[in-house]
A and B are shown apart, each in its own frame.
Chain A
């Protein structure tokens, strides 16, 4: 019974199905996404952190140049 099915489908049909399965799998991996909330929040959070890092580095630079007194 199991051996009969490839013969029934024929080689070209088997190849076509295999490619279709591979395509679906590829499309699935490209479509993989976080939940919508995180899709928006994560880049915003990373952007804010990047801005804070730049601001802090500027403050450190200013302190090292002696523009601000302090600890």
Chain B
């Protein structure tokens, strides 16, 4: 199980960093704050995966744990969701929410990096202990921050993707975006689903959920940015030529 606990998050990390690079490149070419924020969010995803792989391979390290908790547990969903906010909400409101998220993230970073840790607590709860877990944080109030960030992230990222998919579906336009948004929504939900199973004591559930999430979001992004009409036209031309 230890090799899987290294391999699965390592794969998630590689896929996430690769997607982050694609997003940053697209941002450099087209601008748009949503691309920048999604890129930052996927970088957080990658850092989280890397920290989990490090823990699986080399064991406990307090700096790695703090980085994992900050990037992988606290910020990733919220920053990805903020990207979607820029896409769907008026710029003025998105800027206000961005300022709040930035301040909250700085506060979260301060709390995580000053928290008292006890790795022994990770095996003491119903949690399997084979995965990194916030149970290691002793200082009260730090873990209470997580649901607020994740709720905001889930509502904005998943809600935004589902909303966009529904709008495209209702108008029966841009099929590639409909499919892409569905995959992105499913991908964003997968780690949360894995986390829920992990909470109930299923070993490896969180890391599997994260890997599935990274893969689905990657495919979703590629799908959403690749029009299907071109492919259909191409195959039509091909058949005409045949």
Q: Is A21 an interface residue (CB 8 A)?
A: no
Q: Which of B59-67, B84-92, B109-117, B174-182 contacts A (4 or more CB under 8 A)?
A: B174-182
Within 8 A of A (CB), among B177-234: 178-179, 182, 185-186, 189, 192-193, 195-196, 198-200
Contact A71 B165 (CB under 8 A): no
Q: Is B162 an interface residue (CB 8 A)?
A: yes
Contact B169 A63 (CB under 8 A): no
Within 8 A of B (CB), among A24-56: 32-35, 38, 42-43, 45-46, 49-50, 52-53, 56
Contact B198 A71 (CB under 8 A): yes
- Chosen A-B contacts, 21 in total, with CB atoms closer than 8 Å, are A32-B172, A38-B175, A42-B165, A46-B165, A46-B166, A49-B186, A49-B189, A52-B193, A53-B154, A53-B162, A53-B189, A56-B193, A63-B199, A68-B126, A68-B199, A69-B126, A70-B199, A71-B73, A71-B133, A71-B135, A71-B198
Question: Which of B's residues lie within 8 Å of A, judged by CB?
Answer: 73, 125-127, 133-135, 147, 150-151, 154, 158-159, 162, 165-166, 169, 172-173, 175, 178-179, 182, 185-186, 189, 192-193, 195-196, 198-200
